[in-house]
């Protein structure tokens, strides 16, 4: 792999850019690998990357039924934060956020991490108490957040209407080190680094069956033939239930549609991320100038990557009241992704009933922010066969044990 | 937009009139059941890519719960029936068999 640098840009400028090579190879699958990762989204690629980097396991194939990063990795609203209430959540999300800080240097690929700050508005008395509690919990967890006044909210984000009659801004939970990153670049950067380590990224290769002998995995059937392996990591978000069904077990997961939209691009007017969980809407401005808006998830099972119009309407209606400036903007694009929701709204990084199959799923509406931490923890689980400190609380058996990591009612988990 | 016919009041209700209630025909387990059964009842779900039987409530209408058969990929509704039913009517399962040969969902296929 040729290193990207200012020098490389200058060199290529002088020779008509003919020297750039493909960022990753597209090989035909081998007959056998040590580890197969199913799903070449952010989490799958990060898992493969840290398997190679931290554990030296590079005889790895990453199978993708569509194209790389074409699922939820390319459909999220790119927000990165770690202001969660429960200790296991704060630990893994903060690990991810801190890895994002140096990810561009680590991968030699500009992921455009922008720690512009994330604020979660408190618009009811209940939210004020909830976020103050989260700020105290974060202080104990070593995550830097603070509860700020409406005046500070207005100072940080002048386009907010803080005394709207219906949704007044009463304060906010402010994480100055949160922000955004370029979602495609995260997938591409990990893919390039994985390919450089000799891993095989095989796109348009759908897994159609999982082969087991005596409760132990021996390989997969795919649309490109059978591939043998010693271990499998299933990292397929919304389709986790489909893969689990192939492997012969069930999951506490339901797949639903989560939608987002962007406006036409406008001049810079907002340099923070604002989330408003009472009204189920959040917004930031992309580097291109589009206002990136996300809303709530639908309530019913869905695999269609399209959501309900009325949900988007509700989100925009509420945001227009908080940000009157956006009321005349035209919508440019609108899309949906299929997210995998668990009962406690926390992810699953776990062993499964089938030996040597490991699963990483359940990130629900907030997976992008966790990509590096999730990959880090999943790689440890696959390499050692046992979860490390980041993953052990996210075992799938926590449901039967009653050891929930309850973020669903705790604090700002919307996305 | 999803539209269901409420089997009680006969109204064609769109999803803004309805509240989704998750998987239908859950077999309930309580005291005396095994841990596996109780866990499966409380948490594990079919979550199929295809035919799904589910509960809806006509919340902004007659207020009653009903069951529906729907495809989670195409959103096609195969039919609705009252919630006080232990298994889907054969009319609906036959309808599904014509449109989705080889479908499976618990023991009803």
Give me the CATH number covering residue B94.
3.30.2270.10
Contacts of A346 in chain B (CB under 8 A): none
User: Which secondary structure element, helix H or strand E, spans residue B56, and what is its range?
Assistant: strand B51-57
CATH superfamily for domain A26-82+84-109+183-252+344-401: FAD/NAD(P)-binding domain (3.50.50.60)
- Are B22 and A255 in contact (CB < 8 Å)? no
For chain A positions 312-371, those within 8 Å of chain B (CB to CB) are 343
Instruction: Please give, rounded to a whole number of angstroms, the shortest distance from the CA of A363 to a CA of chain B.
Output: 16
Contacts of A254 in chain B (CB under 8 A): 22-23, 45, 47
pLDDT at A411: 41
Specify the 3-state DSSP secondary structure of A324: helix
**Average of pLDDT values for A69-73?**
95
- To 5 degrees, how large is the angle CA A12–CA A15–CA A18? 75
Out of A301, A304, A308, the one facing B47 most closely (by C-beta) is A301
**Average of pLDDT values for A407-412?**
56
B35 → chain A, closest CA residue:
A400
Specify the 3-state DSSP secondary structure of A16: coil
Task: State the residue range of the domain holding B82.
Answer: 3-99
Contacts of B40 in chain A (CB under 8 A): 250
- Are A309 and B74 in contact (CB < 8 Å)? no
pLDDT at A2: 86
Domain assignment present for B39: yes
Domain assignment present for B109: no
Domain boundaries, chain A: 26-82+84-109+183-252+344-401, 118-177+255-342
Residue A33 reports pLDDT greater than 70 = yes
**Average of pLDDT values for A290-306?**
92
User: Over chain A, what is the mean pLDDT?
Assistant: 94
Contacts for A205-208 with beta carbons within 8 Å, 24 or more apart? A205/A29, A205/A63, A205/A64, A205/A65, A206/A63, A206/A65, A207/A38, A207/A63, A207/A65, A207/A243, A207/A246, A208/A246
Q: What is the DSSP letter of A339?
A: E
Give bridge partners of residue A233 from the DSSP assignment: A37, A358
Domain assignment present for B107: no
Domain assignment present for B104: no
Out of A301, A310, A343, the one facing B43 most closely (by C-beta) is A343
Q: Which CATH class is domain A118-177+255-342?
A: alpha beta
pLDDT at A409: 54
Residue A108 reports pLDDT greater than 70 = yes
- Are B2 and A300 in contact (CB < 8 Å)? yes
- Which pLDDT band, with edges at 50, 70 and 90, does A357 fall under? very high
pLDDT at B108: 84
Domain assignment present for B95: yes
Question: CA distances (Å), B32 to each of B29, B35, B93, in order?
Answer: 8, 9, 33
Q: What is the DSSP letter of B26?
A: P
- Are B45 and A304 in contact (CB < 8 Å)? no
Model pLDDT for residues A172-202, shown as the tens digit of each residue:
999 999 999 999 999 999 999 999 999 999 9
Predicted model pTM = 0.95
Total number of domains constituting chain B: 1
The rounded radius of gyration (Å) of the Cα atoms in chain B is 14
Model pLDDT for residues A128-141, shown as the tens digit of each residue:
999 999 999 999 99
Residue A366 reports pLDDT greater than 70 = yes
**Average of pLDDT values for A250-276?**
95
């Amino acid at each position: 792999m040729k290193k990207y640098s200012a020098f490389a840009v200058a060199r290529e400028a002088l020779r008509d850019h003919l020297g750039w090579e493909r960022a990753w190879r597209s090989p035909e699958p081998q007959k056998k690998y040590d580890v197969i990762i199913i799903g070449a989204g952010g989490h799958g690629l990060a898992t493969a990357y840290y398997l190679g980097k931290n554990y030296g396991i590079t005889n790895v194939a990453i199978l993708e039924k569509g194209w790389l990063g074409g699922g939820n990795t390319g459909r999220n609203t790119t927000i990165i934060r770690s202001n969660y209430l429960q200790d296991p959540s704060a630990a893994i999300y903060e690990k991810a956020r801190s890895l994002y800080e140096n990810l561009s240097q680590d991968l030699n690929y500009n992921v455009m991490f922008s720690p512009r700050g994330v604020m979660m508005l408190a618009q009811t008395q209940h939210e004020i108490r909830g976020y103050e509690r989260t700020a105290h919990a974060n202080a104990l967890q070593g995550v830097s957040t603070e509860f700020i006044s409406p005046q500070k909210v207005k100072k940080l984000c002048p386009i907010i209407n803080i005394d709207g009659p219906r949704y007044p801004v009463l304060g906010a939970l402010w994480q100055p080190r949160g922000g955004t990153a370029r979602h495609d670049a995260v997938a591409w950067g990990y893919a390039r680094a994985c390919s450089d380590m000799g891993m095989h990224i095989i796109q348009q290769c759908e897994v159609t069956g999982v082969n087991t002998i005596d409760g132990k995995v021996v390989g997969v059937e795919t649309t490109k033939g059978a591939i043998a392996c010693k271990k499998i990591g299933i990292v397929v978000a919304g389709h986790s239930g489909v893969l689990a069904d192939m492997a012969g077990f069930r999951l506490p997961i339901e797949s639903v549609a989560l939608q987002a939209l962007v406006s036409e691009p406008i001049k810079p007017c907002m340099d923070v991320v604002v989330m408003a969980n009472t009204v189920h809407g959040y917004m930031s401005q992309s580097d291109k100038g589009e206002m990136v808006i996300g809303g709530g998830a639908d309530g019913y099972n869905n695999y269609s990557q399209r959501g309900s119009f009325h949900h988007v309407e509700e989100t925009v209606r509420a945001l227009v009241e908080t940000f009157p400036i956006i009321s005349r903007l035209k919508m440019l694009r609108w899309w949906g992704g299929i997210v995998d929701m668990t009962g406690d709204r926390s992810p699953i990084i776990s062993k499964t009933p089938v030996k040597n199959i490991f699963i990483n799923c359940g990130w629900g509406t907030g997976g992008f922010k966790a990509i590096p931490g999730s990959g880090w923890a999943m790689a440890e689980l696959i390499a050692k066969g046992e979860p490390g400190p980041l993953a052990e609380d996210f075992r799938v058996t926590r449901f039967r044990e009653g050891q929930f990591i309850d973020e669903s009612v705790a604090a700002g988990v919307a996305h | 937009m999803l539209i269901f016919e409420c089997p009680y009041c006969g109204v064609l209700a769109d999803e803004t009139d309805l509240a989704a209630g998750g998987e239908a025909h859950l077999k309930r387990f309580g005291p005396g059941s095994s841990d596996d059964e109780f866990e499966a009842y409380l948490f594990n779900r079919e979550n199929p890519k295809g035919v799904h039987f589910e509960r809806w409530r006509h919340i902004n209408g007659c207020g009653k719960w009903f069951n529906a058969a729907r495809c989670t990929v195409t959103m096609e509704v195969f039919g609705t029936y009252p919630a006080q039913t232990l298994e889907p009517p054969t009319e609906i399962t036959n309808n599904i068999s014509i449109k989705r040969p080889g479908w499976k969902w618990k023991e009803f296929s």
